[in-house]
Chains A and B, each alone.
Chain A
Amino acid sequence: QVQLVQSGSELKKPGASVKVSCKASGYTFTRYAMNWVRQAPGQGLEWLGWINTNTGNPTYAQGFTGRFVFSLDTSVSTAYLQIISLKAEDTAVYYCARAEGELSPWGQGTLVTVSS
């Protein structure tokens, strides 16, 4: 079945970097875009952007350029989200989601906690 499996929780200090992985299975990875969404504790869903899995071209939502980097390794059907210079307000659950317009399925989420 179509499935996205994300890497485990991370605890980082402010200023550090983190890289979250999202491994796809059950479909041809390069046929669908991959989106990234975050959810701060107790808050709603916030769209970070998407990456074209065919060309590798990323598109970032407003406010998420510079410190957020999307990348791919198509040889292992995996998408990555790297966050540089982490801040306390980056504490959230980060989701990947396959896009065919609508988003489905979603990964299980990766909790990134930024704390000194």
Chain B
Amino acid sequence: EIVLTQSPGTLSLSPGERATLSCRASQSVSNNYLAWYQQKPGQAPRLLIYGASSRATGIPDRFSGSGSGTDFTLTISRLEPEDFAVYYCQQYVSSWTFGQGTKVEIK
């Protein structure tokens, strides 16, 4: 089973700042089968990024994904008030597994 470890656990930032979230896999994620999701309180997760770097339909271009192999990054270039949420990475190479999440909170 591929284990995903996200860091940091919590990121305290102000609107307008840049957010950098990390997701590290216990083994290589082939074909970059890595996705990122955003979840707000009381809501279902929403797909942001798939294939490590492709934005899902309707996702603003301030969200970007990068990385390959075992190290992946989600970057939010300038935080908007609606971006404060929990973010999860997920691999779909070998079944599906999620990271434990990173909470982006208002500083």
Show the binding face of A for B, using Cβ within 8 Å.
35, 37, 44-47, 50, 59, 61-62, 95, 97, 99, 101-109
Show the binding face of B for A, using Cβ within 8 Å.
1, 33, 35, 37, 39, 44-47, 50-51, 56, 88, 90, 92, 95-101
A61 to B1, alpha carbons, bound, how many Å? 10
Closest chain-B Cβ to A6's Cβ sits at a distance in Å of 9
B98-A104 in contact (CB<8A): no
Given A102-B35, A103-B35, the answer on whether A47 and B95 have CB atoms closer than 8 Å is: yes
A108-B44 in contact (CB<8A): yes
Known: A44-B99, A106-B46. 13 other contacts (CB 8 A): A45-B45, A45-B98, A50-B96, A59-B95, A61-B95, A99-B92, A102-B92, A103-B35, A103-B45, A103-B90, A104-B47, A104-B56, A106-B44
A95-B44 in contact (CB<8A): yes
B96-A47 in contact (CB<8A): yes
Chain B hits for A103, CB < 8 A: 35, 37, 45, 47, 90, 96
Chain B hits for A102, CB < 8 A: 35, 47, 50-51, 56, 90, 92
Closest chain-A Cβ to B35's Cβ sits at a distance in Å of 4
Closest to B54 in A: A102
B97-A47 in contact (CB<8A): yes
Chain B hits for A105, CB < 8 A: 47
